[in-house]
Structure 1
Amino acid sequence: MFSSIFVPVLVAAAIAGAPDALPVSRAQAPAEENAPTLALEPLLAAVVERNPDLVALDAQRAAALDRAIAAGSLPHPMLGFAIRNLPVDTFSFTDDMMTMKEVMLRQQFPWFGKRELRREAVEQNAKLAEAEKASQALLLRQATTDAYANLWLSTSSVRLVEEQQQALERFRVIARGRYAAGGGSQSDLLRADVELARITDPLLELEEMETAARAALATLLHRPLASFEGSPAAPPLPALPADPAPLYARIEAHPELRALGEQAERSEIEARLALRDRWPDPEVGVMWGFRTDMPDMVGAEVMFQIPVFAGSKENRLAAASRSEARSALLQRESRADTLLGEARTAWAAAKRQRDLIRLYDEEIVPRAERNVQSAIGSYQAGSVDFLTLLDAQVQLQAQQLEALRARANYVRQLARLARATGVSLFDESLAAPEVDRG
């Protein structure tokens, strides 16, 4: 009976997600001897600093800024040396007055505006890397919150199961005393033993959940697994705002949308640069030549490319870049709608879990506790059987587990809401004084 109620609770706890700024229940409070050494807020800050993916995006941004400076610089000048009019019969530098030794210097000058456009196009890659980092940080914070919620849920559930073991041990003592006094039956003792044996399986499931959560945190924060051996503190439960419209409005500044906007802007710059490339870059050269026993000579030249194939080259490149810009803007529009839908779903789910937390804390769990106390007295008085007493205790634990699950789910849904809207999980916009923090 115990496992039939407990196991579905655990399975659902591993899948679901959401809670709000609500008072801490007695089931949440850790024992003083198991003082928590892990907290959610420092982990959320650390994941942004330590995660290798974010460090890599920082390196990409720095590389793009360096490339932007290089892209906007002038081409290297060219220095050349030449021998002209050397007679092939003697290969002498002095026999013919036309034989000349030359030193040449050439420099290409990009057409007006090309250097700026090239620099701006590459700078967009740095802005894109910055937006991608912010977007990745939101995903990592959500994953960290999910792992922490699982860790806290598993360790808190273990404490409840251990309390259940202690309660069943007390019930067995009561049953044994009543049986010794001639008021009970041997079957009561057998039922107590069976329920105690069934507790082993959910404890194994909880151990698996806890191990997976600690491993996930170690991976996300790029730290040794031993760094996460402590007991987790109860996660903070910010209040859910009554009006989610301000949160939804902030989706327009979401890093994912900003990244798509940067892609569109880069493509537009590349289109303008392709059209500007139809204008040839002049190449200016000067030379100095000297001849034996004759006056030295100087010269200058200007060379231009002839844009004969602009229709099949620069124009096509510009059209392709503008198509990419339109594609990025359409993706941005679609992604904005998706994020808005995800935010609305997360807010509704968080609101449901918030209401569940209140219901469990204010009505269901206190009522189940009273039922247990009443069942104990009735059993000792002989007015109810032992099975009724066991059922009351199992129901109490099941409701306490559901209360824990609602809190963990609430935290998960707030993390989803934060990722979908692009705000910090503990942003002040979420801290409406709607619910007493307790």
Structure 2
Amino acid sequence: MKPDRNAFVPRKPHLIALLLGLFSASALAAGGPLPGANVESLLELARNRNPDFAAANHEAQAAAERVYPAGSLPDPTLRTELRDITNQGTDTAPSLLPSRIGSTKYTLIQPVPFWGKRDLKRDVAEAEAHQASGLAAQSWDELAASIKTLYAQYYVLAGSEKLTRELLEFAGSLEKISRARYASGLVPQQDVIRAQVEQTGMRTELVNIENEHHHSMVKLNALLNRPAMAPLAEPLALRPLPPPARLDYGALEARLRSHNPQLFVAEERVVAATKSRELAYRNRYPDFNLGISPIQVGSKVNEWELMIELNIPLQQKSRRSQEREAQSMLAAAESRRESTQNRLLAELAENLSALESARRVETLTRDSFLPQAELSFKSALAGYENGKVDFATLLDAQRQIRKAKLDLLKAQADEQTRLAEMERLLGEDL
């Protein structure tokens, strides 16, 4: 299945969409709600403000404007010949005025390419315009995938920061318990020291998480064309995953073949190379110049002439070389199309498998690992208070809870990353 050639044709921005974009920008400048609560708000802002995407759209519009000139006739030329300006054999003085010389010939010449060449040039320009529009669509898909991935990281880091703060507060409670038991002579001082060391380690990790959280905010602002230190809203939720029934590989492969911008661009390169090869073969035939010439004698036009001129394609060796070049370029375009298709299908299969794995990890962590870790910690805490479990076992149980919750966040981020990559490959949201 080939991509739809009209799917990526650039269109002028609708007035309402433009006004909405201007309204959103002015609302932000006026202190409106911050973007970042969900990924949709970031995507909307990036579509209106990202300079790379804007540049790709402008280039697509520029390429579309080249189509009509490519198939148009060249401009005609006007030639004027002043004959016998010395008025040889008469008593009249030399002159440059048409009415005071022997005669004046005006020639209007129109170049006319051989039949079919203009259509082929227009077809090549149209294919190049489709390539530019496909590149613009590819630019948006890559930008959207980057924003979706960064937002997932932003969400996970915000969740990790919150979780670490909660666990740090809880670690303080464990320290109080160990101090009370140490004061009663039930545990050694080492328990109190280990509780303090655990808190120090968590504070250090919290600093690193805050730093990474800041970096993700800066990267998102860069994609949104906002100041690097501009604040973002706290992320509220991740996008829901599509149900497994919509992740059938066969259906996804068909959607990729139909909508992927990279495959569309590769297909249009083949079309352009095919038309260029046909144009190279058509150059075996001559081009023409058609002319009409009125001849002025005195103040009157007494004669008319018609002219036809053609070039003689004698340089056959040069033309055969150009034809072989065009054939090689077509073969290269076809090979690149096949390579692009194989690479994209492999990436789709890889990301689909990774998404399913991340989904299974999330399910196992949420339904098994986390409940087991919480039960283990409750048991260890009760045992420590009764003197049946040492402090090391209690700390290990606490670390298991933290690991389970962080694994859950990381699995969700991995799911969102894989989903973003699949949507980039498909050229549309799932």
| TM-score grouping bracket, smaller chain normalisation | 0.7 to 0.9
Name the structure 2 match of 1:264.
270
Q: Are the aligned partners of 2:284 and 2:319 in contact in 1 as well (CA < 8 Å)? A: yes
Aligned partners of 2:86 and 2:101 also within 8 Å = no
Alignment-derived partner of residue 76 in structure 2: 77
In 2, Cα distance between equivalents of 1:148 and 1:345:
22
Residue deviations 1:129-182 (CA, integer Å, cap 9, x gap): 111122222222221122112111111111111111111111111112222333
After superposition, residues 180-329 of structure 1 pair within 5 angstroms as 180-242=183-245, 243-253=248-258, 254-292=260-298, 296-309=302-315, 311-329=316-334
Counterpart amino acid of 1:248?
E
* Distance (whole Å) between structure 2 residues aligned to residue 46 and residue 413 of structure 1: 23
1:124 counterpart residue number: 127
Deviates more, 1:274-283 or 1:326-335: 274-283
1:376 corresponds to 2:375:
no
Distance 1:294 1:110, change over 3 A: closer
- 1:339 maps to 344
Percent identity, aligned pairs only? 29
Q: Distance in 2 between matches of 1:161 and 1:116?
A: 67
Whole-angstrom CA distance in 1 between matches of 2:79 and 2:35: 74
Amino acid in structure 2 at the alignment position of 1:112? W
Q: Paired residue for 2:415, among 410, 414, 437?
A: 410
Counterpart of 1:62 in structure 2 is: 61
**TM-score of the aligned structures, taking structure 2 as reference length:** 0.84
Cα gap change, 1:294/1:345 in structure 2, threshold over 3 Å: closer, same or farther?
A: closer
Query: Any idea what SS the aligned residue of 1:183 has?
Result: coil
What is the rounded CA distance, in whole Å, between the counterparts of 2:224 and 2:79 in structure 1?
56
Aligned residues: 389
More displaced stretch, 290-299 vs 64-73: 290-299
CA distance in 2, matches of 1:47, 1:249: 29
Report the equivalent of 2:29: none
Compare 190-199 and 222-231 and name the one that shifted more.
222-231
CA 1:416–1:130 in structure 2 vs 1: closer, same or farther (change >3 Å)? same
The offset of 1:200, in angstroms, is: 2.3
Which 10-residue stretch deviates more, 142-151 or 81-90? 81-90
Gaps of 5+ in 1: 1-34, 428-438
SS at match of 2:170: helix
Residue equivalent to 2:43: 44
Instruction: Give the superposition deviation at 1:293.
Output: 8.9
Contact 2:182–2:188 (8 Å) recurs in 1 = yes
Tell me how far apart the structure 1 counterparts of residues 286 and 230 of structure 2 sit (CA, whole Å).
61
Partner-residue secondary structure (3-state), 2:287: coil
Partner amino acid, structure 1, of 2:344: L
Q: CA deviation at 1:295?
A: 7.5
Cα drift, residue 228 of structure 1: 4.3
Deviation at 1:45, TM superposition (A): 3.9
Write out per-residue CA displacement over residues 50-95 of structure 1, whole angstroms, 9 at most, x where no aligned residue: 322221121112112222111211211222222113348786359x
Quote the RMSD (CA, aligned, Å): 2.5
User: Higher relative CO (CA 8 A, sep ≥ 6), structure 1 or 2?
Assistant: 1
Per-residue CA distance 1:187-243 (angstroms, 9 max, x = gap): 221111111111122112212221221122112222223444321122123135253
Of the three residues 136, 139, 156, the one matched with 1:136 is: 139
Tell me what 1:164 maps to.
Answer: 167
Provide the TM-score with structure 1 as the length reference. Answer: 0.83
**Worse-matched range after superposition: 368-377 or 218-227:** 218-227
Once the two structures are TM-superposed, the CA of residue 98 in structure 1 deviates from its matched residue by 8.5
Residue 411 of structure 1 and its aligned partner are, at CA, apart by: 0.9
Q: Distance in 2 between matches of 1:116 and 1:50?
A: 38
- Taking the aligned partners of 2:110 and 2:224, their CA distance within structure 1 comes to 51
Query: Partner of 2:66: helix, strand, or coil?
Result: helix
Distance 1:129 1:36, change over 3 A: closer
